[in-house]
């Protein structure tokens, strides 16, 4: 064989070898993984070693890796959760195609140092362990996209997290984190941050630079502000900031126009920015348990169906703020409301309105516009009598007025066409017009706790159908 032939043969061998190696290291796509068999026991896996792409060996109380695992050369996704591992041998991380490793609920005190050997690792789940601190080791996994460290004992993260330039998701739920590293804002590909149930006091400066962020969950922390650039996070569609110590929201919060739910309950907010009116995809707003004395106008939100403002410091309500075209449920209970201004337009579709524990002395005239309302809760107010406004609410089926000061009845209630349930317990009623027994749709009238004359109780019992009146 001449020298030219030898060179040609050698080149062919090299090309063939490279082709085989490349072929062997081709990874399944997410779509292809979804169709793969999940092997949950070694016996079945050993019978089909080349078909094992996803292996799930959990709840086996394992402390050592079964050697059979190393025979699965196409293994790409390995679940070892709910065992008793404290460390892993180098060989695990050298599995050629290992891309996703799930080690949740074991007994790890740290991320294994030898994890750097897993060159193709994209997903690491070590949630539910005992990890108290992170070394820089994990940040050498340059291909990591998803890092789950939920339910550990972390207090902070190293600044070197910025080395994970491909990181898209980080889950830190239920740790003890007081601060996030400043360099986190350099992880420009982040789409999800979950830091629910921690002790976070502030966001890193420049947090608004995370322009790809879609999910930010930070409920039950100690945040007092979000930062003026928070409104730059225009791709967020999932936001949880309830149960913090926020005293105000940034004026540009309305830039988050992809949000369908705004939960800001249990903070220290005194007012809501008017820019919320630009969040046209909102379906629900929960601002309960704050210190609100000033509201924004919700009427421009086309998809809004529910608003909760329970347990605030509201004293007066502008009814026109609640004329959103799909709004059906409004909770204003546990405030200090004594008056309504503006009007509910007749085309509004509110069906349930809760005003329990306020300071109303009568039914506000604005209620005349509540043509679709079916249930109103006015318990624990200061109402002394009914007004004709009641009969303007032509769809009303349930009226709750316990713990008020009603003592005199007139024909207003008797003439109502749709009322089925009336709760007048614990008022000051002594006499009830027996004509109320003629209300055809009335199913329940609660008069418990009223000072009804004893001789009158028998009249009431005889006049009404059995089971309708509670005395």
Is the Cβ–Cβ distance between 147 and 171 less than 8 Å? yes
Residue 440: predicted pLDDT: 84
First-to-last C-alpha distance (Å) of the chain = 114
Least confident segment among 130-134, 319-323, 327-331, 383-387: 383-387
Q: Calculate the CA dihedral of residues 163, 165, 169, 171 and round it to 10 degrees.
A: 0
pLDDT of amino acid 8: 44
pLDDT for 410-434, tens place per residue?
667 878 889 999 999 999 999 888 8
What is the pLDDT, as a whole number, of residue 5? 52
User: Residue 322: is its pLDDT beyond 90?
Assistant: yes
Torsion of CA 136, 141, 145, 146, to 10 degrees: -60
- 137 against 330, higher pLDDT: 330
Q: Which domains are present in the chain?
A: 344-471 (3.80.10.10)
Q: Tokens 């707003």, residue?
A: 285
User: What pLDDT does residue 261 have?
Assistant: 97
Asked if residue 464 has pLDDT above 60, the reply is yes
| 189-242 pLDDT per residue, tens | 999 999 999 999 999 999 999 999 999 999 999 999 999 999 999 999 999 999
Confidence category of residue 17, pLDDT binned at 50, 70, 90: very low
Comparing 23-27, 40-44, 144-148, 179-183, the range with the smallest average pLDDT is: 23-27
Confirm if 163 and 186 have CB atoms less than 8 A apart. Answer: no
Give the model's confidence band at 2: pLDDT under 50 very low, under 70 low, under 90 confident, else very high.
low
DSSP symbol at 4 = H
User: 391 versus 222: which is more confidently predicted?
Assistant: 222
Higher pLDDT, 424 or 1: 424
Joined together, the tokens standing for residue 134 give 């992170």
Please tell me the predicted confidence (pLDDT) of residue 435: 84
Q: Is 83 left (phi over 0), alpha (psi -120 to 50) or beta?
A: beta
Q: Name the nearest CA neighbour of 360 among 309, 422, 316.
A: 316
Given its phi and psi angles, is residue 218 left (phi above 0), alpha (psi -120 to 50 degrees) or beta? alpha
Residues whose CB is less than 8 angstroms from the CB of residue 459 and which lie 6 or more positions away in sequence, other chains included: 434
- Other Cβ atoms within 10 Å of 250 Cβ, number: 19
Give residue 413's pLDDT: 83
Whether the predicted pLDDT of 39 surpasses 60: yes
- pLDDT, averaged across the chain: 92
CA distance 1 to 342: 100
- Read off φ and ψ for residue 128, nearest 5 degrees: 70, 30
CB-based contact 324:282 (threshold 8 Å):
no
- Provide the pLDDT for residue 140: 86
pLDDT band at 1 (very low <50, low <70, confident <90, very high): low
Q: Look at phi and psi of residue 210 and say left if phi exceeds 0, alpha if psi is from -120 to 50, else beta.
A: beta
Question: For 339-363, what is each residue's pLDDT tens digit?
Answer: 999 999 989 999 999 999 999 999 9
CA distance 294 to 133: 43
- Kindly state the average pLDDT of the residues 68-87: 97
426, 452 in Cβ contact below 8 A?
A: no
Q: Tell me the pLDDT tens digit for each residue of 119-135.
A: 999 999 999 999 999 88
Other CB atoms within a 10 A radius of the CB of residue 424 amount to 25
Q: Is the pLDDT of residue 11 over 50?
A: no
Q: In the prediction, which pLDDT does 137 show?
A: 84
Weakest mean pLDDT among 163-172, 245-254, 264-273, 415-424: 415-424
Q: What is the mean pLDDT of residues 295-313?
A: 98
Question: Does residue 312 surpass a pLDDT of 90?
Answer: yes
Q: What was the pLDDT predicted at 159?
A: 86
Cβ contacts of 381 within 8 Å, gap of 6 or more: 355, 356, 357, 358, 359, 360, 361, 401, 403, 404
Q: What is the pLDDT, as a whole number, of residue 166?
A: 97
Distances (CA, A) of 406 to 353, 380, 381, 452: 20, 11, 10, 12
Q: Give the model's pLDDT for residue 24.
A: 52
For residue 97, pLDDT over 60 is answered with yes
pLDDT given for residue 408 in this prediction: 77
Band of residue 136 on the pLDDT scale cut at 50, 70, 90: confident
The answer to whether the beta carbons of residues 334 and 287 sit under 8 Å apart is no
Q: Note whether 93 and 73 are within 8 A (CB).
A: no
Segment holding 251, helix H or strand E? none
């Amino acid at each position: 064989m001449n020298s030219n032939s030898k060179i040609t043969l050698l080149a062919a061998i090299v090309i063939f070898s490279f082709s085989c190696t490349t072929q062997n290291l081709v990874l399944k796509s997410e779509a292809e993984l979804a169709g793969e068999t999940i092997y949950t026991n070694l016996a079945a896996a050993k019978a089909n070693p080349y078909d094992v792409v996803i292996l799930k060996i959990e709840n086996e109380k394992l402390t050592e890796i079964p050697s059979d695992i190393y025979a699965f050369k196409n293994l790409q996704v390995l679940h070892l959760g709910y065992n008793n591992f404290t460390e892993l041998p180098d060989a695990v991380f050298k599995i050629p195609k290992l891309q996703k490793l799930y080690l949740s609920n074991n007994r790890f005190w740290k991320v294994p140092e030898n994890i750097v050997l897993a060159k193709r690792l994209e997903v690491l789940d070590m949630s539910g362990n005992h990890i108290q601190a992170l070394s820089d080791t994990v940040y050498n996994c340059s291909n990591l996209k998803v890092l789950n460290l939920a339910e550990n004992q972390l207090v902070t993260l190293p600044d070197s997290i910025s080395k994970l330039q491909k990181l898209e998701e980080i889950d830190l739920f239920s740790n003890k984190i007081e601060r996030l590293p400043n360099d986190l804002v350099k992880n420009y590909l982040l789409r999800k941050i979950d830091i629910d149930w921690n002790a976070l006091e502030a966001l890193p400066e420049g947090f608004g630079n995370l322009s790809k962020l879609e999910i930010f969950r930070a409920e039950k922390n100690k945040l007092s502000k979000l930062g003026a650039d928070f409104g730059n996070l225009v791709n967020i569609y999932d936001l949880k900031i309830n149960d913090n110590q926020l005293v105000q929201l940034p004026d540009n919060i309305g830039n988050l126009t992809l949000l369908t739910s705004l939960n800001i309950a249990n903070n220290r907010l005194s007012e809501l920015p008017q820019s919320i009116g630009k969040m046209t995809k909102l379906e629900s707003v929960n601002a309960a348990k704050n210190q609100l004395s000033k509201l924004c106008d919700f009427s421009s939100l086309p998809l809004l169906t529910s608003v909760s403002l329970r347990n605030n410091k509201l004293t007066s309500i502008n009814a026109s703020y609640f004329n959103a075209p799909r709004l059906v449920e409004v909770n204003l209970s546990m405030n200090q409301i004594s008056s309504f201004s503006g009007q509910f337009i007749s085309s509004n579709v509110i069906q349930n309105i809760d005003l329990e524990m306020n300071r109303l002395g009568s039914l506000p005239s604005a209620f005349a516009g509540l043509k679709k309302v079916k249930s109103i809760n006015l318990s624990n107010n200061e109402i002394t009598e009914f007004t004709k406004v009641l009969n303007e609410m032509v769809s009303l089926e349930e009226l709750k007025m316990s713990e008020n000061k009603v003592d005199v009845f007139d024909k207003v209630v008797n003439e109502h066409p749709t009322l089925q349930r009336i709760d007048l317990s614990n008022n000051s009623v002594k006499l009830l017009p027996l004509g109320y027994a003629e209300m055809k749709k009335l199913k329940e009238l609660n008069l418990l706790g009223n000072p009804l004359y004893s001789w009158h109780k028998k009249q009431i019992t005889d006049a009404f159908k059995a089971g309708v009146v509670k005395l």
